[in-house]
Structure 1
Amino acid sequence: MTKLYFVRHAHSTYTPDELNRPLSERGFSDATKVTNLLKPEGIDLVVSSPYKRAFQTVEGIAEYIHRKVEIIDDFKERTLTTVPAEDFTLAITKVWEDYHFSWEGGESNIVAQKRGVDATFDVLERFKDKNVVIGTHGNIMVLIMNFFNKQYDFTFWQNLDMPDIYKLTFEGKVLRNVERLWERL
């Protein structure tokens, strides 16, 4: 069995620079909790979105296991639009209501989901029978989970914590179990 620990990043300080937005003070505190929660899980390696807030959320567990974080671009957050949405709630609701719809310059759910699932399958193939932490983002994480089980939907995304951790257990490419770890705190 391969265990993938999807970690939605901790709270970040808002800046318009998506790539370099850092964790907030609360985010750093929660990242320490993420590390402590993952320590007993026997983690073999850590991969992350290139976004700073995702990387910073999982770098503590990488340091604990004496490994570098491997950046995997396709675990970055979905692109909703090229310019900030005037009404974020409307914009995000629309793409979840119609999986094929995208705002100008943005990714539809289908396109973003394919990117995330392809990255997931690559990790499953390269790291078979390993315990892998994946530092990522809420929307892309839920789109990946939704591919394997439709119960992980827009409502599920709306109820995620920041950070949040879901352990997905795979046999080959078949999802066998999902367990939320963040609720242990």
Structure 2
Amino acid sequence: MINLYFVRHAHSTYTPDELSRPLSARGFADATKVTELLTTEKIDIVVSSPYKRAVQTVEGIADCIGKKVEIIDGFKERTLTTEPAEDFTLAITKVWEDYNFSWEGGESNFIAQKRGVEATYNVLEKYKDKNVVIGTHGNIMVLIMNFFDKRYDFSFWKNLEMPDIYKLTFEDDELISVNRLWEKL
């Protein structure tokens, strides 16, 4: 058995620089709550998307267990478009309606999901019988969850919080259960 704790990053201060966008003051406060919640889960390993806001959300639990955050590129957010979308709602709806569709320079759901699932399988293989925190992003997290269980879809994504935490329990490569852990404290 392996438990993967997918942590959608806390609120960030918007900048067009995806890689180094930091958490906001509210995001840092919520990241502290994420750390408090995860300290009760006997975490062994912490991995994250390379994006600063994802790392900042989970680095507190890494500090608590005396480990460094391992960066895994496959957990970065999906690229929607090369330029910011004029109508984000339209842009995101279109890619969820057609898994093979992509905007110019962006990833289709199928391509982003494939990347995220490969990263997930690598973690499952590398960290058997461990509790692993994964700092990530809403869209890629739900695409990964959707691969294992189709209930996790666009409607589910639209109702995520920021941050949010889902514990996925696997036996080998088979998803056994999903439990939401995040509650506003």
After TM superposition, the score normalised by the length of structure 1 is: 0.99
Residue 26 of structure 1 corresponds to 26
Per the alignment, residue 69 of structure 2 pairs with 69
Q: 2:60 is matched with which residue?
A: 60
Alignment of 1:77-92 (within 5 A): 77-92=77-92
Which amino acid counterpart does residue 4 of structure 1 have in structure 2? L
Q: Residue 163 of structure 2 aligns to which amino acid in structure 1?
A: P
Whole-Å separation in 1 of the counterparts to 2:16 and 2:126: 34
In 1, the alpha carbon distance for the partners of 2:17 and 2:103 equals: 19
Counterparts of 1:184 and 1:152 in 2: how far apart (Å)? 21
Cα shift at 1:184: 7.0
Q: 2:163 aligns to what?
A: 163
Match of 2:49 in 1: 49
**Paired letter, 1:15:** T
Q: 2:30 matched to 1:37? A: no
Deviation at 1:150, TM superposition (A): 0.4
The Cα shift of 1:183 comes to: 2.6
Amino acid at match of 1:68: K
**Matched AA of 1:22:** P
TM-score by length of 2: 0.99
For the residue of structure 2 that corresponds to 1:59, the secondary structure is: helix
Distance 2:165 2:98 in 1: 27
Identify the residue that residue 149 of structure 1 maps to in structure 2: 149
Quick one: which amino acid aligns to residue 169 of structure 1?
T
Task: Give the Cα separation in 2 of the matches to 1:183 and 1:18.
Answer: 27
Task: Tell me what 2:133 maps to.
Answer: 133
Equivalent position of 1:124 in the other structure: 124
For residues 10-66 of structure 1, the C-alpha deviation after alignment (integer angstroms, 9 at most, x for no partner) is 000000110000000000000000000000100001000000000000000000000
AA matched with 2:141? M
2:69 is the counterpart of 1:103: no
Distance 1:60 1:41 in 2: 14
Q: Deviations over 1:115-150 (max 9, x none)?
A: 000000000000001000000000000000000000
Q: RMSD across aligned C-alpha pairs, in angstroms? A: 0.6
Q: Which residue of 1 aligns with 2:174?
A: 174
CA distance in 2 between partners of 1:183 and 1:128 (Å): 28
Instruction: Name the amino acid aligned to 1:84.
Output: P
The total of aligned residue pairs comes to 185
Counterpart Cα distance in 1 of 2:95 and 2:184: 32
Aligned-partner Cα distance in 2 for 1:121–1:45: 15
